[in-house]
A and B are shown apart, each in its own frame.
Chain A
């Protein structure tokens, strides 16, 4: 950090020299940047032209240029669709639960791991908990089916414990959100801890030593030293997370939904798939996707603004 800021100042002093000098100085760094830059240009920015088909009646056989323009037709169709409110509320509720239960989980786990004194034990746990991240949703969905169906282990256990009926975990909308959040926590918590643990390892041990001398107990150390030191990481990740509030993760929801829980499982991501890919209404689903993106950007900006308001550094 320090060296970087010194360099910045150095550049300011020698204003007369062009930027070229700076580039020449760090030539290799800039060359290293090129692949990443190209990746974003080619795969992220260039395809954005495709958004235009949200305003056209796209027919693949006619092609991109010959399909007729229709203005905001697809957007009005979407907003006046009776499904719109259902989709919006389902999406938001699942996202909200994910935010409330899913987001703090890795923070808590990282703090717990941080308190473990035996290094090898900590490392083992850490590795074990992030393994589920690498399991695909298809596998997780079938694991869930095997465990939770009416003849599965969970239900058999419940029956033995004196439950009168099997619990329809998979086929009743009431349990759907709980199952989704549970799966997400099981799969992603361990992986999420990595970033927080990285931030925690940067805390100056002298702070703890001083606190111990001042008579602070473990909990007070956690409250006054550990938490403040990862606060900015938490805020950054929270802002990023808010941008995805309309994404529920297509695979998971799609695999877990069925006709008996459709009332709560129909979300934007699945809707875009059903409309766009299975029915081939590319324009309409692009419009839906664009709507999601715009909301995401608005949310990121407002969260960032709010973070700055309360004295955090924010993202940009």
Chain B
């Protein structure tokens, strides 16, 4: 689960700082949503495709990553066509695909750790408001570490509920699951304190 969509590479987009990329995505996204008309929407899609090519996204994995978005975009476009006009439908379809492709390009060209490091860096000026970047970094690391464990805990408690013949009731496994998540967090907190890291 900790494996992301990132693909190693050495393109311009890979080398661009993550902050610039996120800012660029935000600006382009607002522009795509704000600007009307199917022609301009096609222009934005061309730009998105160009960026994806620069970032060397390969077709099969791009198609796989965008499959769900494409389905949604088509359904939405059909609705728009039915409710409004064909132009509106085309615009919606192109807009949604552009948005998804741009965001995917950023994800594919940016390693997870780089983004996380950047977040910790950006928090530094907030230190005076009591946000300690070191503690934020620690919390981020703990959350990533907790992902596979929490998934395993969910499956374990579900299996336990099933073994007792309670498999059909989500309550029978959700409560013990959440209780174990909370109990484990308390133990982790104690362990951090015991290691002198909470003071």
**Same complex:** no
